[in-house]
A = this chain, B = another copy of it.
Amino acid sequence: MNQRPARAADVAARAGVSVTAVSFVLGGKADGNIAAATRDRILAAAAELGYRPNRVAQSLRANRTHALGLMTDGIASSPFAGRLLAAAGRRAAELGQVLIVHDSHFDTERDQHTADDLAARRVDAIIYATMGLRRVDALPTTSLPLVLANCFQDEDVRPTGIPDEESVGRQAAHLLIEAGHRRVVMLSGQGVGDSHDPYRGNVAGPLRAKAFLTGLRACEIARRAGEVVVAGWGIRDGHAGALRVLLDGNGRLLAARDRPTAIFAVNDRVAVGAVMGAMSVGLCVPEDLSVVGVDDQEELADQLVPALTTFRLPHVEMGVWAVDAAQSLIDPGRGAGPVEPGRTLLPFHLVRRATVGPPNPVAGT
């Protein structure tokens, strides 16, 4: 049962032809070269033997493995960025490529080692992706084509696909203002902590915050109408952050006219924490407080009660883009056309659900 697979030579012998003929037929180059009868005989023999060309031999011969190395810092273990991985895998499959996944668990010391291994395995290209948007200072040295997803370098010397963080800040400002809100606050996050901190160097928070403030001002809202509070990245941080802006110094709920009527959370987990914090002090969402997040995290945003209005992070787009970009680097003829070094900004999309509404009239300006 566990016998060794058939080779082209076996098929050739069975069909009474040469290996060349077999190779031509199964390689799709039979058209003007092999007689129909011969071809059918070969196909039959191949089917009987369950012959499938050995891709290792093909790879050696063609110097192309049709495999992409996917290096990540913590995507595999992330509860949200896995979408990038999934999307990349799907796109790769469509292109006949396969993904070799290497997750460093934020141990970037191993990156060079990993890249070397990938090179030794002769992957066609490397995709370097991060869980959160960050600048990578030390990219592994390699002669392989390499693209960046969700991260970037100071000099954009490699093709780079990142989310349009500034746009999401602007969009959030517009959304809340159009809904009628005048006192809004953003709960942001910062990249701090030791080198194994998943959020270390994450610049998405500041970027979103800056654009959010700009968006508020562009809509002729006074400077002080909006503020940014650094909370963090988790549910607990959102919870604490919400209480900080909702309560006074003595832990009592602020009067309606002094409270923000809407919160822009740096991500869905912070948004969930904010909703829970609001609930815990007797506020209703969205009647007393509107909340909008960022991510559209699977099984969280859509499942929350009430369901969370949020901006969908383009994880899928980044995954697809990265594979297409790698493909173009390998073979400029295929994929989505030639790719130049430099940043490609992928768009966020608003997912309207139930946590954003007009401000309570009582609390209005």
Contact = CB atoms under 8 A, between A and B. Distances in A.
A4 B55 CA distance: 21
Contacts of A93: 102
Contacts of A365: none
Nearest to A77: B86
A78 interface: yes
A117 interface: yes
A99 B101 contact: yes
B54 A56 contact: no
Task: State which size class the interface on A falls in.
Answer: 35 or more
Interface in A291-311: 297-300, 303-305, 307
Contact of A79 (B90, B100, B300, B304): B300
Interface string A117-155: 101111000000000000000000001000000000000
A299 B85 CA distance: 19
A3 interface: yes
A67 B5 CA distance: 18
B59 A56 contact: yes
Nearest to A58: B120
Interface string A297-337: 11110011101000000000000000000000000000000
A239 B65 contact: no
Interface string A29-62: 0000000000000000000000011111101100
B299 A122 contact: no
A98 interface: yes
Nearest to A113: B93
A105 interface: yes
Interface string A226-242: 00000000111001000
Nearest to A304: B235
A79 B77 contact: no
Contact of A56 (B60, B78, B85, B105): B60
Contacts of A67: 100
Interface string A155-194: 0000000000000000000000000000000000000000
A298 B81 CA distance: 12
B299 A235 contact: yes
A100 B100 contact: yes
B76 A89 contact: yes
25 contacts: A3-B143, A4-B63, A52-B116, A52-B119, A55-B120, A55-B122, A57-B60, A76-B85, A77-B86, A78-B82, A78-B298, A79-B80, A90-B103, A99-B100, A100-B100, A234-B303, A235-B303, A235-B305, A236-B304, A269-B299, A276-B276, A276-B279, A276-B305, A277-B305, A279-B279
Interface of A: 1-5, 52-57, 59-60, 63, 65, 67, 75-80, 82-83, 85-86, 89-90, 93, 98-103, 105, 116-117, 119-122, 143, 234-236, 239, 269, 273, 276-277, 279-280, 297-300, 303-305, 307
